[in-house]
Chain A
Amino acid sequence: MELWFSEYHSPDIKISIRVRKQLFSQYSDYQHIQVFDTYEFGRMLVMDNVIMMSEKDEFIYHEMIVHVPMAVHPHARRALIIGGGDGGALRELCRYDDLEEIVMVEIDRLAVEVSKKYLPTVAASFDDPRVTLLFEDGLRYVRRCRDMFDVIIVDSTDPFGPGESLFTKEFYGNCSHALRDGGILVNQHEGPFFHNESTEAAATFKKTSQIFRHVMVYQAHIPVYPAGHWLFGFMSDSYHPLNDFNPERWLARGIRTNYYNTSLHRGAFALPTYVLRLLHEGVLLDRVYKRVVEGGIWPPDDQLAGAQAHDMDEIDFSEIERYGEDDA
């Protein structure tokens, strides 16, 4: 018998991964949590049929969501993780000795328990004495905080389940009050390629741009996520992720990584043009390419014409040029 786990990335595409064994399956108060042992990716955490992480590629996501802000902030003392039940972001944060306090607010207790039991290499730092683990609604927690954190990491599920409120303006607004002067927020910013994630990425960029002075998106290659291409958002009123980045200071820490490095830090902010268009102008890839459906053109010509004209004439190259300057 062959056992395969499939996840739909759009109504018309799915990714399938061969499973050795299902290790866990249970409905919590918030979601359906499963753990599979797979041939290619090792153990894999799945929530509401969406892959959260695999043992084989989780280092990419967790290193990128933590080391980018931590390499920019010159003296972070208190950090907050919203979500992140698998413990991977926490594990990376705990590698910074000068962090004095780390608060993690996860809504689903079962997510943490399952990770501790089945993903011990990921959920490795819950016993660190600096960690306070709270099981409550992230939005509820953060709206009660004022000037408390230097770094906030939003490691949420997609906005179509329990992570819904972590993609709202009220959440980012309250986060901005919860940050101290010089604070940095990083979120998982969905993917740019398929329709659902890309609309959400564009909407989140728009919302956060109204709140923070610097909002810049960076990317990573994550094989188990839709299209293997994922985005993160860097937000701060004080620090620019490239201009205020000091590679020597980070290298002096001697933190060994597997994906992140100081050159990649700069490179990750150089985005493909279609992603820039998506973020800055809301142009969805779905609207730009053409296919023939049952004798007709999809999307309809009027939409297509609009999108093309728009794209060709009004791409904002200043963003791209800015990255170029930073790189030099």
Chain B
Amino acid sequence: MNKSGAQPFSPDQTKAPILEALLDYRSRRMVSFDVPGHKQGRGNEELASFLGKQCLSVDVNSMKMLDTLIHPTGVILEAEKLAADAFGADSCFFMVNGTTSAVQAMILSCCSPGEKIIMPRNVHRSSINALILARAVPVYVNPSLDKDLGIPLAMSVKDVEMAIREHPDAKAVFVNNPTYYGVCPNLKEIVRIAHEARMRVLVDEAHGTHLYFQKELPVSAMEAGADMSAVSLHKTGGSLTQSSLLLLGPSMREDRGYVHQIINLTQTTSASYLLLSSLDITRRNLAIRGDTIYRRVIEFADYARNEINQIGGYDAFGSERCDGDAFFAFDSCKLPVHTIRMGLSGVEVYDILRDEYDIQIEFGDMLNCLAILSVGDRPVAIERLIAALSDIRFRYGGEPAKHLVNEYIPPVVVMTPAAAFYASSEQLPLDACEGRIASESVMCYPPGIPILAPGERVTPEVLSYIRFAREKGSKMTGTEDEAVEKLYVTNES
């Protein structure tokens, strides 16, 4: 049962319709004369021995007993209903092309070409790409910045209010809940003012699955009354990579069919049953045990924060930073650590942890690194992370390192992402691009938040930031040139 309490009906969350159908399928020992060609693994022994026969025996095609994701009427529909119930949504779509496709479906179904959408600039590349596909016009709200930590926060309500006032014709407000660092906005208030202005609220909850299952965590999109939300069940929930959910609130009931059409524009017609069953099984697990599971995760993260702060030099920050506005709430399953005062950038700590300690964390930026805790964590792993950070400080720690003050560089938007992307353009070495308009993105990956997006002016600040990030070892991506030494810029400026 989700934390928002009573539902009009109470479906049986102990059921897992897709899982049950697959078990039934397997027990019938069907003979396949359809695709996939490996036919329950028989045609690819090496793959079967690597992934396991059990796994390949249910890597099957849509069929009557297993339903079809394109037009679900059976077990998939039933599983989607159970998921909607578990997440307190009105309805739900299972997504197998990643949360990227869920984000794109949200934007495409609310914005027609030329229509405006209000969003923070520190969104994931998937959202910027959706703007290109939708030919939508972004109205960027500059996220507030925590100057001390050097991280972008969420949008403040005041800034959203202003954007709504200045752009009353915008169709939707796009919100991250939480951001990569675990910062949550005042979502209820943003929903209220957006709805008052008859705008949809679309929420990117790629890192927010757990918000739905633990009372102590910040409010989820559905609970806050948002219209749609893209939830990466695989990120902190435990389903297979690439599986995801698109949740719809009651306000979307009329438009559900249209949203489905939008999804089917780009979603595969051969949806993987490995991914679908992982969504089904994960939903059941979280509906039954989510509260306890995430209680434990919060305890782990709080313990780690406390221990890391005792090492000295590190600042494992959390809810004490909440300011009632742009840092409205903190998702305490995240473990961001401010490292620069210990003498190392976050990227450096990220690299040392991986190369020398066999510990892979989510990402590092100039000033911070981030560990993500989820259903799969164990005390021994937490202890290893803390001890490694302690050893790193002892070995490599020093005076606070020099760094750029601003992690967030306000963009100079000259044209829409779509206009710049499709404009006639030329490829130039980065340094020769100053003053031109970018027709592609540049970002550090992870986290995948563009430093430069299509349609934005290439300013000296942006160029020096890119140089600095590269120097510090950030992995750069986004451009057609794989080395990210050249950039496409538009011919007109």
Binding site for B on A (CB under 8 A): 137, 139-140, 142-143, 162, 164-165, 168-171, 173-174, 177, 210
In the bound complex, residues from chain A placing their C-beta under 8 Å from that of B390 are 143, 170, 174
Which 4 A-B pairs have CB atoms at the shortest separation, nearest pair first? A173-B391, A170-B388, A170-B387, A143-B387
Task: Say what secondary structure dominates the interface of chain B.
Answer: helix
The chain B residue sitting closest to A138, CB to CB, is B383
Question: Which of B357, B359, B380 has most A Cβ within 10 Å?
Answer: B380
Cβ proximity bits B185-198 to A, threshold 8 Å, 1 near / 0 not = 00000000000000
Nearest Cβ on chain A to B204's Cβ, whole angstroms? 34
Find A171's partner among B356, B359, B379, B387 (CB 8 Å cutoff). Answer: B387
User: Interface code B327-371, partner A: CB below 8 Å = 1, 0 otherwise?
Assistant: 000000000000000000000000000001111000000000000
Which of B383, B394, B395 interacts with A140 by CB under 8 Å?
Answer: B383
Residues of B within 8 A of A170 (CB): 357, 359, 384, 387-388, 390-391
CA distance A39 to B269 in the complex (A): 65
Bound-state CA distance A223–B90 (Å) is 66
> Do the beta carbons of B357 and A168 come within 8 Å of each other?
yes
Q: Which of A139, A162, A177 contacts B384 (CB 8 A)?
A: A139
Rounded to whole angstroms, the CA-CA distance of A140 and B359 in the bound complex is 17
B386 closest partner in A (C-beta)? A143
9 contacts across the A-B interface (CB closer than 8 A): A137-B380, A139-B383, A140-B383, A162-B380, A169-B388, A171-B387, A173-B388, A173-B395, A174-B387
Among the listed A137, A162, A169, A173, which residue makes an inter-chain contact with B394, where contact means beta carbons less than 8 Å apart? Answer: A173
12 additional contacts (CB under 8 A) given A142-B387, A170-B359, A174-B387: A140-B386, A140-B387, A165-B380, A168-B387, A168-B388, A169-B356, A169-B391, A170-B388, A170-B390, A170-B391, A173-B391, A173-B395
The interface size of chain B toward A, counting residues with CB under 8 Å, comes to: 15
Question: Could you tell me the distance in whole angstroms from the C-beta of B110 to the nearest C-beta in chain A?
Answer: 48
Q: How far does the alpha carbon of A247 sit from the alpha carbon of B309 in the complex, in Å? A: 47
Question: What residues on A are CB-neighbors of B387 within 8 Å?
Answer: 139-140, 142-143, 165, 168, 170-171, 173-174
Contact B384 A137 (CB under 8 A): no
Interface residues of B (CB under 8 A from A): 356-359, 379-380, 383-384, 386-388, 390-391, 394-395
- Residue in chain A with minimal CB distance to B379: A137
Which residues of the partner chain A approach B356 to less than 8 Å between Cβ atoms?
Answer: 169, 210
Chain A residues in 8 Å Cβ range of B357: 168-170
Is A164 in contact with B391, judged by CB distance below 8 angstroms?
no
Question: Smallest Cβ distance from B128 to chain A, in angstroms?
Answer: 38
B394: chain A residues within 8 A (beta carbon)? 173, 177
Cross-chain contact A137 with B391 (CB below 8 angstroms): no
Chain B residues near A164: list those with CB within 8 A: 380
Of A165, A169, A177, A210, which one neighbours B383 at CB under 8 angstroms?
A165
Residue of A whose beta carbon sits closest to that of B394? A177
Given that A143-B390, A177-B394 are contacting pairs, would A168 and B384 also be in contact in the complex, using a CB cutoff of 8 Å? yes
**Cβ of A180 to closest chain B Cβ, rounded Å:** 15
Query: Which B residues lie within 8 Å of A142 (CB)?
Result: 387
- Tell me the complex Cα distance, A177–B388, Å: 13
Residues of B within 8 A of A169 (CB): 356-358, 388, 391
Closest to B381 in A: A165
List A contacts of B358 (CB < 8 A): 168-169
The one of B383, B388, B395 that contacts A137, using a Cβ cutoff of 8 Å = B383
How far is A173 from B384 in the complex, measured between Cα atoms in Å?
Answer: 11
Chain B residues lying within 8 Å of A174, measured Cβ to Cβ, are 387, 390-391
Q: Which residues of A contact B359 (CB under 8 A)?
A: 170
Q: With both chains docked as a complex, state the minimum distance between the C-beta of B201 and any C-beta of chain A, in angstroms.
A: 44
- Chain B residues whose C-beta falls within 8 Å of the C-beta of A139 in the assembled complex: 380, 383-384, 387
The complex places the Cα of A165 from the Cα of B380 at a distance, in Å, of: 7
A168 to B356, CA, bound (A): 10
Task: Looking at the assembled complex, report how far the CB atom of A167 sits from the nearest CB atom of chain B, in whole angstroms.
Answer: 10
Cβ of A15 to closest chain B Cβ, rounded Å:
27
How far is it, in angstroms, between the C-alpha of A266 and the C-alpha of B395 when the chains are bound?
33
- Choose one: B384, B391, B395; the contact of A165 (CB below 8 Å): B384
CA A307 – CA B6 in complex, angstroms? Answer: 66
Please give, as numbers and ranges, the residues of chain B lying within 8 Å of A140 by CB-CB distance.
Answer: 383, 386-387
User: CA separation between A210 and B391, bound complex, in Å?
Assistant: 13
* Complex Cα–Cα for A222 and B432 (A): 69
Return A82 CB to nearest CB of chain B, in Å: 13
- Name which of A164, A170, A174 has the most chain B CB atoms within 10 A of its CB: A170
Residue among B359, B379, B390 facing the most chain A CB atoms (10 A cut-off): B390
Q: How far is the CB of A178 from chain B (nearest CB, A)?
A: 11
Identity of the chain A residue whose Cβ is nearest the Cβ of B359 in the assembled complex:
A170
Q: A140–B387 Cα gap in the complex (Å)?
A: 7
Q: How distant is the Cα of A142 from the Cα of B391 in the complex, in angstroms?
A: 11
